[in-house]
Chains A and B, each alone.
Chain A
Amino acid sequence: MSILASDVQERTGTSPDPAAQGNPLPFRHASVKRLNHLDALESEAIHIMREVAAECANPVLLFSGGKDSIVLLRLAEKAFRPGRFPFPLMHVDTGHNFPEVIEFRDRRVRELGERLIVRSMEASIQQGRVVLRSENQSRNAFQSVTLLDAIEEFRFDACIGGARRDEEKARAKERIFSFRDEFGQWDPKNQRPELWDIYNTRVHPGENIRVFPISNWTELDVWEYIARERLEVPRIYFAHMRDVIRRGNGLLPVSHLVQPQEGERVERVMVRFRTVGDMSCTCPVESTASDIAEIIAETATTRITERGATRMDDQTSEASMELRKKEGYF
């Protein structure tokens, strides 16, 4: 563990923001003859973002405050600075977000000086566009309605998102530029062939493309990149004491949405979140990892997949994600 920590230190350099200091000489690129795998993944993602900016009329980047979209923002900076982002950011707010994440989201957007659009499911519920069975039910699946409404409202033709192919088997079969019809639906049988890195971005009015620049990254790549770039992430990714309930195979965080049912007991446990999503269905894992280096060490040795450990809604059936995606989910 200590070896790993010093290794991370070494390769992230000493300056969190080299551009802000007198010496702009990068610590990696200047003398590197061969690019390592993170450089290769980074360059691929930058290339993808620039293709979206150049070929799509009205793109948007989906930013939730989670680790994958935090990486997307850094990639967008690398793709477009010293210019501004050629697209706004958008968050589909389920109303079930962790408050730390929302606070982080707003702060990060302010630092970047970019525009954030927030569209909330609460509004969709009030308009009767989303009907829930109960107030506390998971809202993950219903995000699609709010997302599709926002796409229509702003006439977005491309949505850049932080999904990765290693997350889930439906994602493993999805293109980097993933075509959606005018109802926002994904048709896995009818995807456009995607060859080399020449991307077909063309859509008719009303249709859109979902673009996943970090398709080829794994969870470990994301954390290694966060370490290398010294990116800040919401505190709930680090180990902390939290009241939880054991339910099914997972731990559920106690909140106004999740209260113990009969026979369940509240425990105070050292946990961290591997993903941040809807508070009612995102489970923390037991962990003592208190900094990025320790998270990397833990991620490298974990024996459970990211979604298997943390998302109750993916465990309801073997095809949960596939079905949600067909309905327009991210």
Chain B
Amino acid sequence: MLAVENIALEHAELLRFITAGSVDDGKSTLIGRLLHDSKSIFEDQLNAITHTTQRRGMEGVDLSLLTDGLQAEREQGITIDVAYRYFATPRRKFIIADTPGHEQYTRNMVTGASTANLAIILIDARKGVLTQSRRHAYLASLVGIPHLVVAVNKMDLVGHSRRTFERIRDEFMAFTSGLRFDSIRYIPMSALNGDMVVERGDMLGWYEGATLLELLETIPVGHRINLEDFRFPVQWVCRPHTEEMHDFRGYMGRVESGSIHVGDAVTVLPSGQTTRIKEVVTYEGAIERAIAPQSITLTIEDHLDISRGDMLVRTGEHVPRVARECEATLCWLSEQSLDLRRKYLVKHTTRVVKTQISRIDCRVDINTLNHESVETLKMNDIGQVVLKLHQPLLCDSYRRNRATGSFIVIDELNNNTVAAGMIRSGDELN
């Protein structure tokens, strides 16, 4: 049976999502239930956790053990930031970024969320909307996740009460009205019993919406890829120097947003020179048009000096700002706090430039969303800053373009990634 159903996989899309919630909210159980009921768990995995459940003196199968951690984590009682899990249904393939809760939450969630199209926020029906639920929603919104699913879990412990569910939904709605999501859905569920995860169950008959899996399978995959602005950061210049390809000079990279067609007029940034696209080349041969996120090779009509770090954009349309100073929201990830006296490296698309953070405008308290003035940014802080750049960056705002509005900050001394950055344009306040 499965073999026939799986044929459709080729045509399925890929949905990346993140689960937000602490252990107490039943996150591990939910993921375990999703994997189990969608038949994505293998027999040897099931045997292993059945065995462990019994060894711990419990009955049945504790599905939360499926996401049990590494030896290092078990021994030291810590949880390593992000684990990636994979499952597929006949309709779609899924990548789950599973991030643990607790104190390092901001760092973990921002990391997992950076590639996600959807976030599931778990709420314990007994506890209702907590400070941390608000925090999760804010972070998901900050990183630009388009779709939010609010899973009101443990409905079995509140007598499957419709009123409880609706009260939580209304409270959450009031809070998220100020945040930016394409859609927010609310699902009552019991991950423990499997109600409304994959199967509907019998206890929540008053709920008429989709189960979690139905939603995951059908929600439009809003990659938030900007479809208008062509952005092509040059990764690698291909010059084969062979006899038959003596003059071939191909610019290799990935279409980060928009599309490009043979004959289009393009501008090279930061130099500002213009030319036309001669060929769009792939391994399979030349094509007429390429779209994001295809990795391709471009050749151009003129001999221009183009190298890694340059960006091709379509002439005459909205182009990135060539900037030596930019405003950004930083999420500080390192145990070493931001040092305003030091220089750091910024990696933005394929450019790496030196930077100094010249000003911290404010820190955002992610529990209250209040802005406060601070002297530095510590691990898990989110702040609005101004960067001075030694060479120009080609800046789009993160809101307009996730691919060309994001960057990382690297500590030159120890090579660690110390911050995640999102470029803001002047009129964006949050």
Using a CB–CB cutoff of 8 Å, the interface residues on chain A facing chain B are 1, 3-4, 7, 11, 18-19, 23-30, 33-44, 46-47, 50-51, 53-54, 77-84, 86, 165-166, 169-170, 172-173, 188-189, 191-198, 200, 202-204, 215-216, 218, 220-221, 224, 297, 300-305, 308-309, 318-319, 322-323
Contacts and interface: CB of A to CB of B under 8 A. Distances in A.
B69 to A, nearest CB: 8
B12 A82 contact: no
Contacts of B13: 34, 36-37
Contacts of A11: 10
Interface string B316-360: 000000000000000001000000000001011110000000000
Contact of B242 (A77, A82, A191, A322): A82
Contacts of B42: 302-305, 308
- SS class, residues of chain B in contact with chain A: mixed
Nearest to A82: B240
A30 B283 contact: no
Nearest to A165: B84
A200 B347 contact: yes
Given A194-B417, A300-B6, A82 B250 contact: yes
Contact of B44 (A35, A50, A79, A304): A304
B3 interface: yes
Contacts of B406: 195-196, 198
B402 interface: yes
A43 B235 contact: no
Nearest to A1: B3
Contact of A54 (B9, B83, B308): B308
Contact of B2 (A23, A173, A204, A300): A300
Contacts of A318: 48, 71
Contact of B295 (A47, A84, A196, A302): A47
B277 interface: no
B283 A81 contact: yes
B37 to A, nearest CB: 15
B86 A218 contact: yes
Nearest to B409: A200
B58 interface: no
Given A46-B254, A196-B406, A200-B408, A36 B86 contact: no
24 contacts: A7-B7, A18-B285, A19-B284, A25-B285, A26-B287, A28-B284, A30-B287, A37-B93, A38-B10, A43-B293, A44-B293, A54-B235, A78-B282, A81-B283, A86-B236, A188-B80, A191-B80, A191-B81, A195-B111, A196-B420, A297-B3, A300-B9, A301-B6, A319-B70
B33 to A, nearest CB: 18
B313 to A, nearest CB: 18
Q: Which 5 A-B pairs have the closest CB atoms?
A: A24-B285, A26-B284, A308-B44, A319-B71, A46-B295
A64 B88 CA distance: 28
B347 A84 contact: no
A220 B285 contact: no
A24 B9 contact: no
